[in-house]
Amino acid sequence: MADHPQPSERARELVRGAYDVHVHVAPDVMKRRIDDVTLAERFAAVGLAGFVLKSHYVPTTERAAVVRRLHPEVGVLGAITLNASVGGLNPVAVEIAGRGGATFVWLPTVDSANQRHCQATEPKGAKPPMWAQLQADLRADGMSADPVDIVAADGTVTETARQVFRLIARHRMVLATGHLHSDEIAAVVTAAAEEGVERMVVTHPEFTSQRVAIERQRDLAASGALLERCFTTPYTGKVSWEHWLRAIREAGPENSVISSDLGQPFNPPVEDGLALCADRLLAAGFDEAEVRTMIVHNSRWLVGAEPLPDAPANRRAAATTTEDRKADVA
């Protein structure tokens, strides 16, 4: 594997207690750097609180429960992504995930209309996402499903999407916007709030197929959504570090949550991602309190973990555990 930077001890200490809310690890349909059980061991060793298992293709809630049984000291959390492999915008799949204790629901990523229709090209030298080849294989084999639409032609959020939002609210799950277009994200955040969703995150707004403008990022934050800054987006060359850091500063550190989006074999170890981000942020002039807000306190608030003593007042909401969510519909 390629040489990668090593986090500083200062950064390791700063990110203690954080959740990485976006990781891609084995088992998966693509080759991954590490499996979920081993990652839990490594998170415990470096003082990280837990992680959310992201898959573009399969639900991960049951996997997460098995890993928690093996490593109860680490908060391993499950999720579902509403791509074609789970029926797209499928309320039944969301309800089952919620009953099983899922924490995150990602709106379509690889099968979003925006991702399918995107004509933007990666910057020169950028590493393409691993799922791009799988999507190409499916198309070549005649298995390309229709894009998953969230917003109708007239710009309104579909009733099926609103039903999904109500289920997310019922189970107190987190809504992540996936690979939607900037206009779709704005419509979704408004509609989801109307349906009672309390925790929302805008998935990597700097990603190639999204490029959400700073002014819109500010508006989304004002509407209650956190802006997810993924380490891999600049690290793999999809956007410059300067742009990524400027977006955080201009939209406000308090409105950002840092995740790694790691797990690819050619990228750094997953357990290093948050600390590597902390080093970048410190070098760019962010202070330690801002770094802890973005990486530790906002991630813990997003997943419903108990707030730490140094958490800002606006991140002291009551914790919502997996068992709490399942008890709501028992």
User: Which residues have C-beta within 8 Å of that of residue 16, sequence separation ≥ 6?
Assistant: 46, 47, 48, 296
How much is the pLDDT for 268?
Answer: 98
User: Could you tell me what percent of the chain has a pLDDT over 70?
Assistant: 95
Nearest to 22 by CA among 257, 197, 205: 257
From residue 296, alpha-carbon distances to 13, 21, 45, 116, 293 in Å are 11, 11, 17, 34, 6
Helices first, then strands: H and E counts in the chain: 15, 9
How much is the pLDDT for 46?
Answer: 98
How much is the pLDDT for 326?
Answer: 60
How much is the pLDDT for 323?
Answer: 67
**How far is 15 from 270, CA to CA, in rounded Å?**
13
27 cis-preceded (ω within 30 degrees of 0): yes
How much is the pLDDT for 43?
Answer: 98
Predicted TM-score (pTM) of this structure: 0.94
How much is the pLDDT for 200?
Answer: 98
Q: What order do you get walking across the sheet with 256-259 strand by strand? A: 79-81, 104-106, 174-176, 199-202, 225-230, 256-259
**How far is 111 from 148, CA to CA, in rounded Å?**
6
Do the beta carbons of residue 158 and residue 152 sit within 8 Å? yes
How much is the pLDDT for 328?
Answer: 54
DSSP state of 50: E
**How far is 188 from 112, CA to CA, in rounded Å?**
13
From residue 291, alpha-carbon distances to 18, 96, 201, 284 in Å are 11, 36, 18, 11
The tens place of each residue's pLDDT in the chain, 330 residues long, gives 468 999 999 999 999 999 999 999 999 999 999 999 999 999 999 999 999 999 999 999 999 999 999 999 999 999 999 999 999 999 999 999 999 999 999 999 999 988 888 766 777 777 888 888 888 888 889 988 888 999 998 999 999 999 999 999 999 999 999 999 999 999 999 999 999 999 999 999 999 889 999 999 999 999 999 999 999 999 999 999 999 999 999 999 999 999 999 999 999 999 999 999 999 999 999 999 999 999 999 999 999 999 999 999 988 875 666 667 665 544
What H or E segment, with its residue span, contains residue 220? helix 214-222
Question: Quick check: helix, strand or coil at residue 198?
Answer: coil
Do the beta carbons of residue 296 and residue 309 sit within 8 Å? no
Do the beta carbons of residue 105 and residue 80 sit within 8 Å? yes
Query: For 227, left (φ over 0), alpha (ψ -120 to 50), or beta?
Result: beta
How much is the pLDDT for 296?
Answer: 98
